[in-house]
Amino acid sequence: MAYSFRAATSAGNASGGALSINKPAGTVDGDLIIVVGYLESDTNTWSSIGTGFTEAKNQDNTGLFDLRIWYKWASGEPASWTWTPTTTGWRTLVCASYSGGGGSGNPVDVTSGAQADGVTTPNQTAPSVTTTVANDLLIFGYGNFSGTNVTSMSGAAANLRVSLGGCTIADANIATASATGTSNPLGGPGTEDYAAMHAAFFLNPVAAVTLEQEGFRFRDDTGSESAAAWLAAQDTNISRPRDLNTRLRMLVNATGDPASQALTLQYRKQGDTDALAWRSVIKR
């Protein structure tokens, strides 16, 4: 199983304010949507972005422009989304959608970025990233100051999906966890002031795991589980003489705790800084 490219759109490539970009054709709920945005200058910002998008990576070209990669999982998407720069400037957006992913969770595995001025085409590289699991989607996001369009790619992300005025998305499926190597434009740009990024996205993100300590209660170490006497009300601290066995019942919930990431509950005496002093209470 791997991501599959669905369609791409692009918008802008001119100076102006709010810019809308259309949803790629055929995009359905659960698809991973990628947007790369180019904005001049590097100190300008996006005052608002498409609803529900999250930034995965930002790589400015110092003094010239701002370049970002955003993502979102499609869910009841409108026909288009709008990005608005804080200050009117040259702006371009490119977008691609992919099917096959898990459809929820934080999909960002690893990212990298680079920028430089006066660099020839084969050297306008996004640095290699080392993916941590199999079947990541490697996204290459790129922009150049002259606005020269990219017509072919070389390196890890060899599939050129969309480019408008140099703002580009290319991709590759990375079958095994590994160092991807670099990616760079091959055709189109000449010597450029550029910025380039890699962002690798999990095929099936693990949902965020959160712990909630719901309550605790102390009881005497007498009798059975049902018969032992409580020492205080729930969530109430106690004080007891030494050498008295004391039971502590507590309820800890783990939301989004898949079997593959089972949590281990450990304890350590307060003030003991020795890492080896941790002891497991339960492992499930």
Partner 1 sequence: MAIATKTLGGFDDGLCRFELDYDDVNLRLTVVRCINNTAQPASAQATATANGRTATRIFAANSTVELAIPTGPTTRLDVTIDGRGRLDGVDYQLAWPT
Residues interacting with partner 1, by CB under 8 A? 7-16, 19-22, 24-26, 90, 145-147, 149, 151-153, 159-165, 187-188
Nearer to partner 1, 124 or 163 (CB): 163
Residues whose CB falls within 8 Å of the CB of residue 166, separated by 6 or more in sequence, listed in order: 38, 92, 142, 143, 144, 146, 147, 148, 149, 150, 188, 189, 192
Nearer to partner 1, 107 or 155 (CB): 155
Nearer to partner 1, 145 or 202 (CB): 145
Nearer to partner 1, 15 or 255 (CB): 15
Q: Cα separation of 1 and 131, whole Å?
A: 16
Residues whose CB falls within 8 Å of the CB of residue 272, separated by 6 or more in sequence, listed in order: none
Please, what is the minimum distance in Å from the beta carbon of residue 195 to partner 1?
16
Please, what is the minimum distance in Å from the beta carbon of residue 110 to partner 1?
25
Nearer to partner 1, 123 or 146 (CB): 146
Alpha-carbon distance values, 267 to 159, 221, 252, 270, 282 (Å): 50, 19, 13, 9, 10
Please, what is the minimum distance in Å from the beta carbon of residue 80 to partner 1?
9
Tokens of 119: 């660099």
Please, what is the minimum distance in Å from the beta carbon of residue 163 to partner 1?
6
Please, what is the minimum distance in Å from the beta carbon of residue 43 to partner 1?
18
Sign of the C-alpha dihedral computed for residues 116, 187, 41 and 43 taken in this order: negative
